[in-house]
Amino acid sequence: MNKMNNLAEGSILKSLFKLAIPIMGTSFVQMAYNMTDMIWVGRVGSRAVAAVGTAGFFTWLGMAFILIPKIGAEVGVAQSVGKKDIDEAKLYIKHSIQMIICLALFYAFILITLRKPLIGFFNLGEEDIVSNAIRYLVIISCGLVFYFINPVFTAIFNGYGDSKTPFTINTIGLVVNMILDPLLILGIGPFPRLEVAGAAIATVIAQLMVTIIFITRVRKSSELFSGLNILKGPDMEHIRRIVNLGLPVALQSGLFSIFAMVIARIIAQWGPIPIAVQKVGSQIEAISWMTAGGFQTAMSAFVGQNYGARKWERVFKGYFVGIAIMSIIGIFATCLLIFAARPLFSIFIPEEESIRYGIVYLRILGLSQLFMCIESTTAGAFNGLGKTVPPSIVGILFNGLRIPAALILSSTSLGLNGVWWAISISSMFKGIVLTTWYLIMLKRNPEMKGLKLFKSDMIIN
């Protein structure tokens, strides 16, 4: 194994930063795809944003399918590399790629076949929004295999300890998307004005470019991908391992998306503007959410390699170094969303009524950013150990409680703001409960006894 990708030796702080920064960059790139779409679609109007946001729930739901092989590849490759067993890592890679292709084709078929009832679930009541949402969903579904496979390629490289390669490749895709969005959405120059459909087409082309570059890079990799034959039949043992690792996380993600759809249906009673506000507001909030998600991946790879190498001291110290870093980021995100709410939201939708709604949304959600960052870091530590169930239990429980909380709080004088408070308060509880669970697990772990856990030179040097 390349020493540059070895996370089981050297400074913990340097290892985490070196791995985490490109992963965070990749997360921002993925976030920027949606933000770029929202910025340009927002120039068409809030009704177009509502259409894209509604259809976007189903690509978001697709993350549940993606996460099964993604987490399996990420954790499986990391632990295998920690054990210095590259052949085992290749088996995780092969089965993850096979699985994601099958899942992408299956989900695309479902979305295209059931497109009308799926969009009809939201009771939008506006024919132009409904038709645009269906059009966006069908176009995205046609390129869904690229949207699905790119996160799995990214996870493979991250688990190996190489986070720079997927960052570079995904950035190229973002640049392509940024160029195509204004051309196809607004019809600049010789291009037709396609509006919502243009946003979908730009995304599909950009994702296709990323897949092509990943495949080109994979063909040149001698250690991880040599001798890999994805046409060879899978063995059920590795499929079972991947499912066991990824299914709890996927179930959490899928239910989270479903809960969010129910919340969106609750919000819809206030009209299309709050729907657009939540879509745009969640994209802005993703500044911290995607940063935390990127660090969660880095923590998972770091813990996974050190767990595979049986270096429990580094597992312990790495977690607390990560918590310290993400606490700083969480506090910064809180200040940003509370004190810069107006200029942030006005970037996306210039309509004054939408901006007023957006300011309130960002300030309420801003209060939970520290807890959300701590939750993500802790979930990454659990995942690296192969214990993907605890974060899923906590996530499913408190995300599910958002629905009754939203119904109760919105029926008071809080109105629509009660929905935002339900989301923010549940995030706070998730961070507190999951972190407490992890600390109790560490305290009870017999591997921790007798270790010198606070030797500072390993952390800094």
By C-alpha distance, which of 302, 365, 341, 325 is closest to 161? 302
Structural tokens at position 26: 């990749």
The residues, ordered by sequence, that sit 6+ positions from 353 with a Cβ below 8 Å of its Cβ are 273
Q: Are 192 and 132 in contact (CB under 8 A)?
A: no
The strand ranges marked E within 35-141 are none
pLDDT tier, 455 (very low <50, low <70, confident <90, very high otherwise): low
Q: Compute the distance between CA of residue 194 and CA of residue 51 in angstroms, rounded to an integer.
A: 14
Q: Phi-psi category of 218—alpha, beta or left, where left has phi over 0 and alpha has psi -120 to 50?
A: alpha
Q: Is the dihedral of CA 241, 242, 246, 250 positive or negative?
A: negative
Residue 44: enclosing H or E segment and its boundaries? Answer: none
Q: Compute the distance between CA of residue 22 and CA of residue 20 in angstroms, rounded to an integer.
A: 6
Q: For residue range 313-327, list pLDDT tens digits in order.
A: 888 888 999 999 999
**Residue type, position 41, single letter:** V
Q: Compute the distance between CA of residue 360 and CA of residue 366 in angstroms, rounded to an integer.
A: 10
Q: Is the pLDDT of residue 8 over 80?
A: no
Taking residue 8's Cβ as centre, other Cβ atoms within 10 Å add up to 22
Helix runs in 268-415, H state only: 272-308, 312-339, 341-346, 352-366, 369-384, 389-400, 402-410
Q: Compute the distance between CA of residue 38 and CA of residue 36 in angstroms, rounded to an integer.
A: 5
Taking residue 392's Cβ as centre, other Cβ atoms within 10 Å add up to 21
Taking residue 234's Cβ as centre, other Cβ atoms within 10 Å add up to 15
Q: For residue range 200-245, list pLDDT tens digits in order.
A: 999 999 999 999 999 999 887 767 777 777 878 888 888 998 999 8
Q: Compute the distance between CA of residue 383 and CA of residue 380 in angstroms, rounded to an integer.
A: 5
pLDDT tier, 448 (very low <50, low <70, confident <90, very high otherwise): low
Q: Is the pLDDT of residue 126 over 90?
A: no
Give the pLDDT confidence score for residue 363 in this predicted structure: 92
pLDDT tier, 312 (very low <50, low <70, confident <90, very high otherwise): confident
**What angle (nearest 5°) sits at the alpha carbon of residue 67, between those of residues 66 and 72?**
115
Q: Is the pLDDT of residue 2 over 60?
A: no
pLDDT tier, 421 (very low <50, low <70, confident <90, very high otherwise): very high
Can you tell me the mean pLDDT for 376-390?
Answer: 92
Can you tell me the mean pLDDT for 284-288?
Answer: 78
Can you tell me the mean pLDDT for 252-267?
Answer: 84
> Percentage of the chain surpassing pLDDT 70?
95
**Residue type, position 445, single letter:** N
Give the pLDDT confidence score for residue 163 in this predicted structure: 87
State the DSSP code for 270: G
Least-confidence region, from 31-35, 158-162, 330-334, 385-389: 31-35
Q: Compute the distance between CA of residue 179 and CA of residue 182 in angstroms, rounded to an integer.
A: 7
Across the chain, mean pLDDT equals 86
Q: Compute the distance between CA of residue 97 and CA of residue 220 in angstroms, rounded to an integer.
A: 17
Q: Compute the distance between CA of residue 139 and CA of residue 204 in angstroms, rounded to an integer.
A: 8
Taking residue 397's Cβ as centre, other Cβ atoms within 10 Å add up to 14
Q: Compute the distance between CA of residue 439 and CA of residue 454 in angstroms, rounded to an integer.
A: 16
Q: Compute the distance between CA of residue 151 and CA of residue 219 in angstroms, rounded to an integer.
A: 18
Give the pLDDT confidence score for residue 210 in this predicted structure: 95
By C-alpha distance, which of 197, 146, 152, 193 is closest to 173? 146
pLDDT tier, 309 (very low <50, low <70, confident <90, very high otherwise): confident
Q: Is the pLDDT of residue 248 over 70?
A: yes
Give the pLDDT confidence score for residue 396 in this predicted structure: 94
Give the pLDDT confidence score for residue 399 in this predicted structure: 93
Give the pLDDT confidence score for residue 211 in this predicted structure: 96
Give the pLDDT confidence score for residue 10 in this predicted structure: 75
Coil, strand or helix: which one is 69?
helix
Give the pLDDT confidence score for residue 64 in this predicted structure: 83
pLDDT tier, 451 (very low <50, low <70, confident <90, very high otherwise): low
Coil, strand or helix: which one is 224?
coil
Q: Compute the distance between CA of residue 74 and CA of residue 284 in angstroms, rounded to an integer.
A: 27
State the DSSP code for 233: P
DSSP string, 390-448: HHHHHHHHHHHTHHHHHHHHHTSTTTHHHHHHHHHHHHHHHHHHHHHHHHHHHHH-GGG
Give the highest mean pLDDT range of 10-24, 58-72, 198-212, 334-348. Answer: 198-212
The residue ranges of every structural domain in the chain are 3-460
Burial of 444 (0-12, 13-18, 19+ CB in 10 A): exposed
